[in-house]
Amino acid sequence: MIRFAVLISGRGSNMTYLADAIKDYNIAAQITVVISNRYCAGITLAQDRGLPTKVINRKNFNTQAEHEAAIAAAIHYHRSKYVFLAGYMAILSGDFVNQFAGQIINIHPSLLPAFKGLNTHQRAIDENAATHGVSVHMVTAALDEGPMIAQASLPLMASDTADSLAARVLQLEHQIYPFVLLGLAKKILSL
């Protein structure tokens, strides 16, 4: 069984799709804990599904290292083999990433290496990209540069706004992240 923690910062939609896929498709996986760096809607959604949750607010710590130590302690306490980042809006330090080397997976709303960082949808529109999409990758100390696991794309439409494109890409995210989890659980995918 794949035991994994999920780190979130917002609405938690990717976390809920992972949780629902485990149930709906009988995936041999378990979300051990949902951790957020602030109270957010995703924590309520996780609690509604009976998932253990922990809010580890960055404001309660003097340094990033102390904050990340608390997150690492929660991950270890729940015996999580993997860490899935699902809209976690903080950059993890190299020390934290190295502690969990090969175990942290991120979903990013662009076809990496294009549009690393934030505002990916507007940047794709501004650059008249033909396609846009989502990437699932291993996390390394360099921002959005880890080895690629899977990508899904869609064409940009002339009518796209940043919001409409974000909504279409989010639909891809909700399909590809459970697909990666299923691949890990069935040992079709190895990291």
SS3 (DSSP) at 47: helix
Q: Minimal CA–CA distance to 55: which of 7, 13, 92, 14?
A: 7
| Residue 190 confidence (pLDDT) | 81
At 191 the pLDDT is: 79
Report the distance separating Cα 8 and Cα 86, nearest Å: 5
Per-residue pLDDT tens digits for 3-24? 999 999 999 999 999 999 999 9
Other CB atoms within 10 Å distance of the CB of residue 143: 13
| Cross-strand bridge partners of residue 83 | 5, 104
Mean pLDDT, residues 72-84: 98
As a whole-number percent, the residues of the chain with pLDDT over 70 amount to: 100
Where does the pLDDT of residue 34 fall: very low under 50, low under 70, confident under 90, or very high at 90 and above? very high
Angle (CA) 23-86-99 rounded to 5° is 105
| Positions marked catalytic | 108
Q: Any idea of the CA torsion for 46, 164, 21, 104, to the nearest 10 degrees?
A: -70
For the segment 12-39, the average pLDDT, to the nearest whole number, is 97
> For residue 79, is pLDDT > 90?
yes
